[in-house]
Amino acid sequence: MARKTSYRKTYSRKPAGRSFLSRLFRGLLLILFSLLFIGIVYHYRKGLAYYLGFKSEKVLDEDAVDKHLSDVRNIRVLENHKGKVIGIDVSEFQGKVDWEEVEILDEKYPVQFVFIRATAGNDRVDRQFKRNWEGAKENKIMRGAYHYYRPNENSIEQADLFIKTVKLQKGDLPPVLDIEKLPKNQPLDSLKKGLKRWLNKVEKHYQVRPIIYSGERYYADFLKEEFGDYLFWIANYNFYREKIEDDWLFWQFTEKASLPGIKHRVDVNIYNGDLEQLHFITVE
């Protein structure tokens, strides 16, 4: 009868020193992340308190919380810019705005200006432009109009459409050129020539230099050097960005605000100055 051969399992043991170092490393990482979390909570403590309703001395349900600025960072941004002017920008994507209700952002910050999309490309008039343009004026909100530029369409035709659509009056903000995309099948120089044609034609018509709107990266990479004579309205929603740059005229710091009178989320902007300075740049 054959005898069964028994096998004893052997286990390799890790050196005690290596196991200790591994546990120590994990412990240090846990402490580091805990300190980081505590630091972030402390940094945004005012925004968190406001956002959760502690300042209002009432308990907010989920729907009420959602109607506040959705990002705690945005509360901090507003707190960092006391004394500067707060405004919004709208288009047909916000639906029909009840301008009589558009007064206070987040129960604390007056909305004192609005940029309204007028046109896009060489053939598109915003479906809500006329209504928004008149509504802002009737409710004494300083207004401005912007054109969404399409790089692959004729720049003069785009300028003509904007001029035909927008009748600026005394007290209105300068016209705005919104450029966000790169051209297809054409060099960058061609885009810049088109932008300059639009800017020159619009400036000549209204007798006021337009403002250029773009994202911060687009601005830095393609516009800042060659269009340095213009004033810029910059979009940046990044978590780390909490203050406006000195050379920005306006900063669009969020696209996720809720505001009475507007059913959908809306962009919020900061003007780099006070109300008197804002009046100074308006059309005379």
pLDDT in tens, 155-182: 999 999 999 999 999 999 999 999 999 9
Say if residue 270 is in the same domain as residue 198: yes
Confidence band (pLDDT; 50, 70, 90) for 27? confident
The CATH number linked to 110 is 3.20.20.80
For residue 170, is it within any domain?
yes
Q: How many CA atoms lie within 13 A of 60 on its CB side?
A: 17
Q: Is the pLDDT of residue 46 over 70?
A: no
As for how many domains the chain has, the answer is: 2
The catalytic residues are 89, 180
Confidence band (pLDDT; 50, 70, 90) for 66? very low
Residues across the chain? 284
CA 234 to chain centre: 8
Confidence band (pLDDT; 50, 70, 90) for 73? confident
Say if residue 120 is in the same domain as residue 175: yes
User: Could you report the per-residue pLDDT of 95-154, keeping only the tens digit for each?
Assistant: 999 999 999 987 789 999 999 999 999 999 999 999 999 999 999 999 999 999 999 999
Provide the pLDDT for residue 206. Answer: 98
Provide the pLDDT for residue 33. Answer: 65
Mean pLDDT over each residue of the chain, to the nearest integer? 85
Say if residue 38 is in the same domain as residue 143: no
Residue bearing the bigger pLDDT, 38 or 58: 38
User: Could you report the per-residue pLDDT of 232-259, keeping only the tens digit for each?
Assistant: 999 999 888 889 999 999 999 999 888 9
Dihedral-angle region of residue 95 (phi above 0 means left; psi in -120 to 50 means alpha; beta otherwise): left
Question: Which range marks the domain in which residue 247 is found?
Answer: 82-280
Say if residue 227 is in the same domain as residue 91: yes
Say if residue 166 is in the same domain as residue 224: yes
CB neighbour burial string for 96-105, b if at least 16 within 10 angstroms, e if fewer = ebebeebeeb
Residues in CB range of 210: below 8 A, 6 or more apart: 174, 175, 176, 177, 199, 202, 203, 230
For residue 4, is it within any domain?
no
Q: Which long-range contacts (CB under 8 A, 24 or more apart) does 169-173 make?
A: 169/137, 169/283, 170/282, 170/283, 170/284, 171/142, 171/279, 171/282, 171/283, 172/142, 172/143, 172/144, 172/145, 172/282, 172/283, 173/113, 173/115, 173/142, 173/143, 173/144, 173/211, 173/281, 173/282, 173/283
Are 88 and 104 in contact by the 8 Å Cβ rule? The answer is: no
For residue 6, is it within any domain?
no
Say if residue 239 is in the same domain as residue 103: yes
Question: What global pTM score does this model have?
Answer: 0.77
Say if residue 210 is in the same domain as residue 259: yes
Provide the pLDDT for residue 251. Answer: 98
